[in-house]
Chains A and B, each alone.
Chain A
C-alpha cells in the first residue's frame, strides 16, 4: 500500500525527449491507468517507477521516500509484463515462489503464500507445469500470481492483456478489477486500449507525446475531454469533429458556420469571438440518425428543412446497434445507432446533433472551450 508521487519527471534518450515534465500524484489504493497511443511515454514512465529506466530529471517518491536511485529489487513493487516474462525453466510454483525464495522466506510461509494465490487465481491444478504447457490465459494468471504472492507496495501492469484474444481479455479485465477490490493495493496500469482504461481505472491519465493530456475519472474524460487528443482517444467509435467558424454578422452572434456552409446555434456562454475558428465534437452515440430526427435540430441543413441531411456511406452492424458512416457535405462521420439500421449506402438520412452533447475546442490549440 503506497502513495506514489511523480514530481516533474523527465526522460530523454540521447537528444530525444520521451517524457516532458510529468507530474502525477497517486493515492493509496488507487487504480491509475496510463493510457495513450504507442510512443506516448506511458510504458517508459511505468518502467521508471519500476526502476528499469533511469530518471533523467525529477523525483519519484513512494510514501515520502525518494526512490530514484534505488535498485528495482529494493522498491518492493511487483510488475506484470505484456509478455508475462515467466521463467521458462521453472514450474508455475517455482515462478510464483521465486521472489519469496530470493528473500529467504521459510518453506512453510512460501507454501502458504503460493497456495493462497493459486487458489485465488484457480491455478492449483497447474502448479507443477512449466510455462510452455500453459495457455495464454493461464500464463497471465501465473504472472499475476507471481506479483501478488509478494504483497508488494504497488502493482505495475504493463499492457498485461495485449497478448490475449478479445474474449479472454474481457474475462481477465474483470479478474484484475476483482483482484484490486480484494487486495486494495495501489496499481498503475499501462494500456493503449481505452476500453481497458475506462473499465478499470479509478482515475485515467491520458498521455500523448510525452505529456499528460488529462487526469480524471473515466466519466470526466468521456464527458468533458480537456482537448482534442483526449476527445479523439477516449470512446469507440471515436468522436466526430467538424470544423467551424463563428459567424461574424451581428444578428446571429450565437451561430457557428460549419465548413460546408450550414449553421448551428451554440450557447452564448461559450463567449466566442466573431470569426473565431472552432472545432465541434460529437460522439457517434449522441448523434440521432434517421427519419426519427426531430425537426428542431442544432444543424440547419442546406435545404433549410431544419434537420441536417446526410448520405449513408457504410453501415456496420454490431448486433446491439450499428455504426452508420455518413457523409455530411464531403466529410465522412460516424454515428452509433441503437437498434436495427436498414439503411444502405447512398440512402438519404437526417442527422441531428443535440446541442447539449456538443464539445467545443479551439481550432488552434485544441483546448476545450465549453
Chain B
C-alpha cells in the first residue's frame, strides 16, 4: 500500500514537472496569440492580463489586406521549400557516400564539413555579400536559397549519415545479389527505410530557412523579395512598435511551418513501425 502510494506520488511529480515544462515552453506562443487578438487601445490600457476583455481580428485583416505580408510569405515559402529540398537531396547523397564508401580524402571532406560549422555566421556576412553582389545574386531569392543551402548542408549531411549508418549494409548487399545495381538498391531499399530521416532533415532545414533573419536582411534590400522575418521588422518604426500587427503576422507565419510538419510527421513518428505491425 505504502509502495503504491509512493509510486502515485512519483507519477504525479513527474506529470507536474512535464506540465510545468510545457507551460513554460508554450507560454510565449500563447502570448503571441493573445496580443495578436488584443485591440490596440487595450494593449497598454489594460495592464498585464491573461486574456483581453475584448478581442478583435483587425490586426489579421490589416496584415492580410494592407501590408506586403502575403508577398513575404510567398517569398519565404519559395526560399524555405527550395532550400529544404536541395539540402535534403544533397545531404542524402553525400551522407550515403560517407556512410558506405571508402574514398581518398574522405577524412578531409568530413573535416572540412565540420570546420564550416565552427564559425559564427556574422563573420561571413561581409565576404558573402561581396561574392554574391559580384555575381548578381544579391536581391534575389536564388541567392538566398544558395546561401541557406550551403550553410545547412554540412549538418544535414551528418544527420543523414547517421540514419544511413543505422541501416545494415547486409540489406543493400542482399539487394545487389538479388539483382539490383547499387543505385537501385539505394533507391528501392535504402531510401524507403530512410524516409523518417529525410523527413527530419526536411523539417529541420525548412524551419532553419523559414526563420533566418541575418542573411535575409543583409542580402535583400527590396521589399518585394523580402522574406517574412525581415517583414516583421517593418513593424518596428522610429516612433514605436505595432505589436498587434506584428504578432498577427507572427501567428500567420507559424501556419506554413505547422502545416509542413503536419505533412511530414507521418514519416517522423510512424516511419517503419506502422509498416512492421500492419497485417
Chain A residues engaging chain B, CB cutoff 8 angstroms: 50-52, 71-73, 75, 77-79, 81, 83, 85-89, 91, 98-99, 102-103, 128-133, 146, 150
Contact = CB atoms under 8 A, between A and B. Distances in A.
B177 A73 contact: yes
Closest 5 CB pairs of A and B: A132-B276, A85-B170, A99-B178, A85-B174, A102-B179
Given A79-B174, A85-B173, A133 B276 contact: yes
B15 to A, nearest CB: 32
Contacts of B179: 73, 99, 102-103
A146 B178 contact: yes
B179 to A, nearest CB: 4
B50 to A, nearest CB: 48
Given A132-B277, A133-B277, A89 B178 contact: no
Contacts of A98: 175, 178
9 contacts: A51-B176, A51-B177, A52-B177, A72-B173, A87-B171, A87-B189, A103-B179, A130-B278, A132-B272
Interface residues of B, number: 22
A132 B177 CA distance: 22
A88 B174 contact: no
B275 interface: yes
B252 interface: no
Nearest to A80: B174
B117 interface: no
Contacts of A102: 178-180, 184
A90 to B, nearest CB: 9
Chain A at the B interface: SS class = loop
Contacts of B192: 89
B276 A52 contact: no
A85 B181 contact: no
A150 B175 CA distance: 13
Contacts of B275: 88-89, 130
B276 A83 contact: no
Interface in B146-192: 168, 170-171, 173-181, 184, 189, 192
Most chain B beta-carbon neighbours within 10 Å: one of A78, A87, A103: A87
B214 to A, nearest CB: 41
Given A51-B176, A87-B175, A99-B178, 4 more contacts: A71-B176, A72-B176, A85-B174, A132-B272
Contacts of A87: 171, 174-175, 189
A81 B170 contact: yes
B170 A83 contact: yes
A336 B174 CA distance: 42
Given A85-B171, A89-B272, A128 B279 contact: yes
A173 to B, nearest CB: 21
A32 to B, nearest CB: 18
A73 B176 contact: yes
A252 B49 CA distance: 112
B193 A79 contact: no
Most chain B beta-carbon neighbours within 10 Å: one of A71, A77, A88, A132: A88
Nearest to B273: A132
A58 B264 CA distance: 51
Nearest to B192: A89
A133 B176 CA distance: 25
Most chain A beta-carbon neighbours within 10 Å: one of B168, B175, B179, B189: B179
B99 to A, nearest CB: 16
B181 A73 contact: yes
A131 B277 CA distance: 9
A77 B174 CA distance: 11
A366 B243 CA distance: 89
B106 to A, nearest CB: 14
Given A52-B173, A73-B178, A88 B193 contact: yes
A88 B272 contact: yes
Contacts of B174: 79, 81, 85-87, 146
Nearest to B174: A85
A52 B175 CA distance: 11
B181 A71 contact: yes
Contacts of B184: 102
Nearest to A82: B170
Nearest to A150: B178
Contacts of B193: 88-89
